[in-house]
Structure 1
Amino acid sequence: MRPLFTCIAFLVAHLALGQTPVSGVVRDSASGQSMEGAVVTFVDLGGKDSTRTLTDSRGRFFIHREAKGDFVLMFSYVGYQTRAYQYPASMQTDVGAIDLAPFIVRMKDILIESPPIVLKTDTIEYRASAYTVKEDATVEDLFKKMPGIQVGADGSVTAGGQTVTKIKVNGKDFFGSDPKMATKNLPADIVEKVQVIDEKSDQAKFSGFDDGQRTKIINITLKKGVNGGYFARATAGGGTDGRYQASLTANRFNNDQQLSLIGNSNNINSNLFSFNTPGLSLGMGGFMSNYMNTMSNTGGANSLTNMANNGDMGFMSAGGNSNQTGVTTAHSGGVNYVDQWGKKLSVYGSYLYGYGSTVMDQQTAQQYFFPDSTYYRNQHQHTRTIQQNHRFYLNIEYTIDSVNSMKISPVLTYATMNQDNNMDFTSLDAQKVVSGGGIQAYQGSNSSPNLSGTILFRHRFERPGRTFSVNANLGTSTTSEQDDNLTTGQGVVDSLHQHYNLHTRTSNNGVRFSYTEPLSKDKSMEAYYLYNNATSYNDKRTYLVTDTGSFFSPQLSNAYTSHFITHQAGLNFRENKKKYNYTIGFGLQPTSLTGGSDLKDTLPATAQSRVNFLPQATFTYNFARTKIFTFRYNTAISQPSITQLQPLADYSNPLFITYGNPDLKPQYTHTFSANYNQFNLGTGKMLFTFLNASIIRHRIVNNTIILADTGQANRPQNLNGYYNVNALYVFSEPFKHRTWVLTFIGNATYTNDVSLVQNPDHASFVSSLPSTGHNWVVFQSATVEYYRKQWLELTAGVNYTGNWTHYALDTMGTGTFSTWAFTQTGRVDFLKTFSLNYEFRYSLNEGLQAGIGKNIALMNVWLEQRVLKRKGVIRLGVNDLFNSNASISRTSTGTYTQDVQSSVLNRYVMLSFAYKFQKFKGIQKTVKPRDGVMVMPQ
């Protein structure tokens, strides 16, 4: 029936308009697939009639013409050979299939490359040479040009709204799991392409079945010529107020062998090292650090925070991280090694050392909402933190024979932290009349060695698709901590001086067996079983310090052990078609949670057993090469921490007393996500969309009651009703061969946050009332970029962030916060060797609480001159020209809103010199980018 309707439509059009329709289909000669977006140009040789159209999603085109004479049809597509055919005037209907061949055409000094973006099932691939960056740019600068990738002021990287946890180079880990090591140390001009990947676990990649363990990573593929050569860059500089910087980066590439060295020392917040070692924090003392750690542990602070002056995540790249809180002196160094030892053994790993000393001042304004009242708390704190970190990563991949292989990945870290914190606070009632206050002085130090690793064995049977694999994970860590905390205040406590020693020990060991069986050509099944045993031990000894000495306090001391054992068995079914694939499965998980005190026999023990049902599903549909839709559903269980389970009052911070709850159940989380990506190869227009939703049963929240006017008591408790929905889109379109680029980014998040608040008639945990906070965070930005050949680059943007919180109990009020940010950056090269650069941002903040700054004007300016045959760069720069930089954040939860203003690095002038050494065999240097076409010398 469909061909009949098509013929009738052509006939009606011909009779009605007096035109002869011409149609056909454009295909890829290699794959035979139809090509959407191919350009079809019609030229009438007997007259002046000329028109142009694009093929549809099936590669078809239709052109209506007046029958004057012979005509020519020209077919073109970016990255393919252009073809032209002449037809007689009598040609009236279908010209048939036109096959276009991919090409690399060399005409003297011209090389035409592939499209700038390629979409795959789990991967978005960018061609690096399609994006204009300044000379001597780093990978971080390149990422900022790529739509869908954002670089934060602290160097963190997000893609499609998700945090990038690792960056690989040529498929191998680069300095472990710290993305900044690659983004800040590798030059952009050696990059061939950038791949953003939703990476499965090693076992899932081998078996073909998604086990739900996915991480967002980026793989950087280097240009072929880089595999035989080296790159090095050294920088040194000094400035006003004693500011300095010195760094060295060296990379050597020799076929399969890669060797990278880095070194860095500065006091301008240019941190090449991330100090967020798992398990290491000083959360026992300090007013805000203790409270926020307590809240995050119990789930009470898992709401959305927006940075008022960091709305544009890619802003401030002049030198250092201008928006990083506090002022940091950092020293770091490391080595990364990749090699192929023979045909069967691949080895890659790294060692890193980092030292950081940070001084920070913070102003915090909090408003707490309760059914019958509200109250405020303001505090100022000064903190100095010193951290040291050693990290060693190693990956060994051994191919035993043609059907067996093994991967061993050990990780060893050792970290230390010392912190001094001095804070003064004031409490105010609903009329903002001072009702209490005090001071707190804290000193603490800890150390934490951690050893973990995985062992993966893989076996392929003779029948294709039949596999067996075993994946074991082993981990152990210990932390030793000493703290001294003096609190003086009104209301709850007049003066309390404590010293405590804390020792924790955790182990997490498990194993997973997987067997896959092909059922047909495109169907397969997986059966799996896993076992995991997590043990935690927490021993805290508290001493009360008085004028007469130090005395052990049995009431404030405890030693507690918990065991969490899980078994899980499940089945997964997968079907893989040409246009789509899907996986559905489920697992049954019996769990056992036990715990008890080693010091206090009178405390109740924990003993829980349950069976969880864990379904999962994934679905991917390829509408075309440039249009992909993916849906995922997953479930997960997370057990309470040992500090949440032990039934003891923790007075480490007497202003925020915490109680454990041995009856806590594990949280059960449902997660739904979907994304749709499309890219037009003809125009360069792209659209990325992402939708995520999560529902948590038995969510662990804080049950909060007020103690007099200066403190709180918190007890974790399970509560249902929490859910979160997040939607993101990125739209970008280039014009005039990427001379202009217009980009829109939008993000909206709704959180239904549940909590428990004090009953106005009775201040006890058992009588608390459920409360719900409805929180909206909306972000929208628009950016336009302009490039004039290689010498001029201008960007201008505006973004808006709104944060609205409404509480179900009307008596608890509402909270509103918004910020407008206007940005403008520029670079102009002149007199052949000079370059002027600037970055400007103005933020307008509304809805902040008293005492928190509102509007911020931030500008960085620097002038560069290239010397010594353009291998050296002299830079004179001014950071924070107006001396007004600040960091402001808003947090909203089910019971309170909080505004925090943190000190940052303000104005200084820096003069520096950088010199690069570079030699690669056969590497090609980009000289003129165009949309989808790259001109390069040979």
Structure 2
Amino acid sequence: MKKFASLLSLLILFSLSAFAQDPTGRITGVVKDSVTNEPVVGAYVAVSRNLPDAKPEYVTTDIDGKFSFSGLAKQAAYLVKVSYLSYKDASRTVTVQDDTQDVGTFQLSEAVANLKEIKVVGQVTAVQQKGDTTQFNAAAYKTNPDATSEDLIQKMPGITVANGTVTANGETVNRVLVDGKPFFGEDAALTLKSLPAEIVDKIEVFDKLSDQAQFTGFDDGNGQKTINIVTKADRKMGQFGKVFAGYGLDNRYQAGGNVSFFKGDQRISVIGLSNNINMQNFSSQDLIGVSGGGGGGRGGSGGGSAGNFLVGNQSGITGTNSFGLNYANKFGKKVDVTGSYFFNRTGNSNLQSMQQRFILPGDTDSTDQIYNENSRTNNTNANHRLNFRIEYNINKNNSLIVTPRLSFQDNNSASTKAGLNTLNGLRINSLDNSQRNATNAYNFNNDVLFRHSFEKKGRTLSVNLNTQLNDRNGLGNLYSKTMFFDSLGLAARGDTLDQESYTYSNGLTLGGNLIYTEPIGKNSQLQFNYGLTVSNSDSKKETYNMSFDENTYSDLDSLLSNTFDNRYVTNRAGIGYRYRKNSWSANFGLDFQNTGLYSQQLAPVNAKVDQSFTNLLPNFMLSYRSKTGTQFRTFFRSSTNQPSISQLQNVIDNSNPLALTAGNPDLKQEYRNSFNIRYSLAGAERPYNLNAMVFVTQTNNAIVNSTLIAQEPTKIVDGIILERGAKFTKPVNVDGSWNARTFLAYGKPIAPLKLNVNLTTGFNYVRSPGLINNISNYSNTYAVSQGLVVSSNVSENLDFTVSYSGNYNMVRNTIQPNLNNNYYTQGITGRVNWIFGKGFVVQSDVSNQSYRGLGEGYNRNFTLWNASIGKKFLKNNAGELKLTVFDILKQNNSITRNVTETYVQDVTNRVLTQYAMLTFTYTLRNFGKAPAPQNNRRRDFESGDMPGGGRGGRGGF
């Protein structure tokens, strides 16, 4: 490993010092309005060789209307073309003769001739397709003056926000950037809620490749669905934000705010929040030992799994105290720095009712086992999170990107639960359990990327080094009483556990990846890559029983204790071919991967696992993009997924004696094939936009659960007996896992009615394999979804939205067909924000939720209604006093259904009920003239023109 690190370090030093610069020229110019002579900000400038079939490269003008292209061949002729909404295109041909060739000023004239034509033709184009990016113009969507970026994007077709998760065209959005830069690290929730809609110029939705893939132009499969918020040019200088404080009945309170200081490239944002009304601001990094449940939050009523957007997703009632600081600046012409610190502390309490109906093989008349559980939990979670990104453009041929991330977590929880298993209506066992846990951990990740462009266009070298460290310690106490019943449902005997356990795990991963690209001809490029990853992880658990003689936890329980070491070594080498001509582009690649797994259990017995996996991993991409906004893309990739240390560690977890779990050291890696097709239509010449998607994933050696539900007392290992009705679960490898989704989004503005209409529909199919009492079961779930959003485009003073979402689900099992089930969930929501008179404000939102087919006690229909009335005052209506009533009808509920290959589960959680609150809000708006940026260049390579690859402007050269 030391030799490997030394070799990569030498490569970096050699690249920094030895490569010569490219003797090329650049083109500069400026774009202005022909009437006002004011600079045109954000105009698209395309530069292409003045040859047949030559493809352009793009930049946009800065706040002074200036643009610049570099890396151009001298003595070559280029066509420069400028285009912008509502203006006529302008173009001219220029030959690069000097190091810097100034093409002068482009004077753009309006595309319409008179006011009558402006009323018809001059309407803002809502959506455009710019290469691989879908671009929404914020001006086409009216929002109220106090709206956030989150309020704005929910009006845009194909984008939804539900249960704290943002999706774009059926895919979960993982990152939100501001002007191409991170904001509060990668915490999308903070970004959307912190930035006001009034500073947004455009919303861009695209698949952001990794920094290395952006540079090479070859998709490495590590891309993320991303939203980029482009701010208005006249909002890049000044201070803005809001602060608020409120108090209400039942001692409900909220206080907080966010303030941003923008001064060109320097941007500082501060955010704070304190409340006990379920306003939550955190990402998955902030949650350790905390599960993100479904709904029940501040206005939430439905289910949903935890994702990267976890605002309002934690079940129960949560009090939050948080503080954040974000900083971004450009130092000189070569260094860009972004960094953030975020602290979050939450206290959560929840009451939960759960029912699991098990899918058991055998006679369906005698295998109706049901588990009911009521629980109370309280937990406190504290998190510190630091993120930095430093981009150093050493010169036009070399750059360095360093991205360190560090987080600390501290969690304390306490829970009590009472559970009962019944079989055909008769009791078989019951549980009375109390548990306390204290956990602390840290995670560190650092990524270093060096990129070099040779003199020959398309010839590049990039080296990526990655370090990951994690450490976790835990202390837990368990006191449990279990009662077992005979065949008549009468009490037979009971067991008591009184234990204390210590857990410890750490991990270190070192990885490196080297990629070299070489052009072959005018339209083709080869890529050669090699990567090495070494991952070591250790875990230890010690469980002690209460010694009643000494009244301490001193008796080591060797059956529930374990020491485990694990090491993965992965070598991966491959070759790729890239072709691009006209509107078509294609990538082909094949990687050879060898993974060695070495695991050793040191206690309570010594056991070893030594395995090797060899795989061929093909990938393929075909893309078509027309000038009119039509886009088609199909993509296939094979990949592997390694089991985690918790899945490998063979130690019994008895935190619920009726539901024991353990890992499996014999697990193999998963082999996954992913295929997707995307088709979109968008453009200024169309009165609508359309997105269609198909996603299919097939997994061999899928890591799934094998569950043993004892029909009679069964020995798991020596000394541990699984009593009748209890279950034991461990992970195993099974083939036959499928996940297929289709998604269709259609958006159209209805100008005469001043409305935006967005329609979505989809079909999902999930095939989940599993083992139940050593018999294979395949749970097949078919789901049809339909969504409709009608939003206003009337004015800033009247903003309303009406939406409908419905999901019809069909569940079919290969065993226990009596548990096959059809169920339907539906939500109808209406929101209105009306500003009238002399600053009076009325806000109201009504949501009706309907659940059918979930089973007795879970079929519900309820309406959540919140409303407020307020008055704006002070200069520029900066102040507002508002009275809000939450859950006026006292019907708020939380319901979740989860279908697995082993059971069907229905859950209800504690929710926030009716309260009234008086809140004062002060809005800061102080904008000035933005200063000229320092070489604030943004290059978007449509289709990823060589050498810089796709989306060079968001991390590439």
TM-score bracket, shorter-length normalisation: 0.7 to 0.9
Map 1:87-102 → 2, pairs under 5 A: none
Identity of aligned residues (%): 30
Q: Structure 2 matches for 1:753-772, cutoff 5 A?
A: 753-758=768-773, 768-772=774-778
Aligned match of 1:149: 159
Call closer, same or farther: CA 1:780–1:493 in 2, change over 3 Å: farther
1:710 to partner: Cα distance:
4.2
Q: CA deviation at 1:538?
A: 0.6
C-alpha distance in structure 2 between counterparts of 1:827 and 1:643, whole Å? 49
Does 1:794 pair with 2:800?
A: yes
Spell out the pairing of 1:36-115 with structure 2 (5 A cutoff). 79-80=86-87, 103=110, 115=125
Alignment RMSD, CA only? 3.0
Deviation at 1:669, TM superposition (A): 0.6
Q: CA deviation at 1:368?
A: 0.3
The residue type equivalent to 1:142 in the other structure is L
- Say whether 1:359 aligns with 2:349: yes
1:240 counterpart = 2:249: yes
Instruction: Decide whether aligned partners of structure 1 residues 113 and 221 sit closer, same or farther in structure 2, where only a CA change above 3 A counts.
Output: farther
CA distance in 2, matches of 1:106, 1:522: 42
Distance 1:206 1:323 in 2: 36
Select between 897-906 and 702-711 the one with higher mean Cα deviation.
702-711
The offset of 1:145, in angstroms, is 1.0
User: Structure 2 regions of 5+ residues with no counterpart?
Assistant: 1-44, 54-83, 90-106, 485-492, 711-722, 931-957
Aligned with 1:346 (options 306, 321, 336): 336
Structure 1 residue 624: Cα displacement = 4.2
| 3-state SS of 1:788 partner | coil
Q: Is 1:589 the equivalent of 2:593?
A: yes
State the match for 2:507 in structure 1.
506
Distance 1:788 1:276 in 2: 40
1:60-209 matched pairs, under 5 angstroms: 79-80=86-87, 103=110, 115-154=125-164, 156-209=165-218
Say whether the 8 Å CA contact 1:323–1:905 is kept in structure 2.
no
User: 1:516 & 1:426 partners in 2: Cα distance?
Assistant: 62
Task: Please name the residue that 1:531 is paired with.
Answer: 532
| Offset at residue 678 of structure 1 (A) | 0.8
8 Å contact from structure 1 (residues 323, 904) kept in 2: no
Worse overlay, 487-496 or 739-748: 487-496
Summarize the alignment of residues 820-839 of structure 1 with structure 2, pairs less than 5 Å apart.
Answer: 820-839=826-845
CA distance in structure 2 between the aligned counterparts of 1:170 and 1:78, rounded to whole angstroms: 20
Is the 8 Å Cα contact of residues 365 and 849 (structure 1) preserved in structure 2? no
Maintained 8 Å contact 1:122/1:199: no
Q: Find the partner of 1:779 among 760, 768, 785.
A: 785
Q: What does residue 649 of structure 1 align with?
A: 652
Match of 1:721 among 736, 741, 754: 736
Match of 1:407 in 2: 401
Name the CA distance, whole Å, in 1 between partners of 2:767 and 2:803: 31
CA distance in 2, matches of 1:308, 1:809: 35
| Aligned counterpart in structure 2 of residue 901 of structure 1, from 908, 914, 933 | 908
Cα shift at 1:658: 2.1
Match of 2:548 in 1: 547
1:227 equivalenced with 2:219 (yes/no): no
TM-score normalised to the size of structure 1? 0.81
SS at 1:881 equivalent: coil
User: How much does 1:738 deviate?
Assistant: 6.4
1:310 aligned onto 2:302: yes
Structure 1 residues 312 and 654: CA distance shift in structure 2, 3 A: closer
2:446 equivalent in structure 1: 453
Matches of 2:822 and 2:838, distance apart in 1: 51
Give 2:636's aligned residue: 633
Matched, 1:423 2:417: yes
1:681: how far off? 2.5
Q: 2:812 aligned with 1:806, yes or no?
A: yes
Partner of residue 319 from structure 2, selected from 312, 317, 329: 329
Q: Which amino acid aligns with 2:731?
A: P
- TM-score, normalization by structure 2: 0.80
Deviation, structure 1 residue 827:
2.7
Query: Out of 573, 580, 587, which is 1:576 matched to?
Result: 580
Deviations 1:480-518 (A, max 9, x none): 000011221123962112210000001121000000000
Name the residue aligned to 2:64: none
2 CA distance for matches of 1:342 and 1:509?
A: 33
Instruction: Indicate the residue corresponding to 2:467 in structure 1.
Output: 474
The yes-or-no answer on 1:606 pairing with 2:612 is no
8 A contact 2:443–2:470 mirrored in 1: yes
Q: Name the residue aligned to 2:950.
A: none
CA distance in 1, matches of 2:123, 2:453: 38
Q: Measured at CA, do residues 106 and 400 of structure 1 come closer, stay the same or move farther in structure 2, by a change above 3 Å?
A: farther
In the alignment, structure 1 segments of 5+ residues that lack a partner are 1-27, 35-76, 83-99, 284-288, 293-300, 302-306, 759-767, 924-938
Q: Secondary structure at the match of 1:400?
A: strand
Aligned length: 800
The answer to which of 509-518 and 872-881 deviates more is 872-881
Residues 543-574 of structure 1 show CA distances to partners (whole Å, capped at 9, x for unaligned) of 01253332111221111001011000000100
| CA-CA distance at 1:218 after TM superposition | 1.1
Aligned-pair distance for 1:740?
A: 2.2
Q: 1:694 to 1:661 in 2, by over 3 A?
A: same
The residue number in structure 1 matching 2:80 is: none
Deviation at 1:810, TM superposition (A): 4.8
Matches of 1:721 and 1:134, distance apart in 2: 50
Report the secondary structure of 1:183's partner residue: helix
SS at match of 1:141: helix
Distance across 2 between alignment mates of 1:229 and 1:129: 21
Give the superposition deviation at 1:908: 0.9
Residue 400 of structure 1 aligns to which amino acid in structure 2?
Answer: I
Moved more, 493-502 or 578-587: 493-502
Q: In the superposition, relative to structure 1, how do residues 895 and 599 fare at CA in structure 2: closer, same or farther (>3 Å)?
A: closer
Distance of 2:729 and 2:691 partners within structure 1: 42
Superposed CA offset, 1:503-546 (max 9, x none): 00011210000000000111001000000111111110100125
- Residue 577 and residue 714 in structure 1: after superposition, are their counterparts in 2 closer, same or farther (change >3 A)? same
Match of 2:850 in 1: 844
- Measured in 1, the distance between the counterparts of 2:706 and 2:744 equals 36
Q: 1:386 to 1:224 in 2, by over 3 A?
A: same
Per-residue deviation at 1:203? 0.3
Aligned partner of 1:668: which letter? Answer: Y
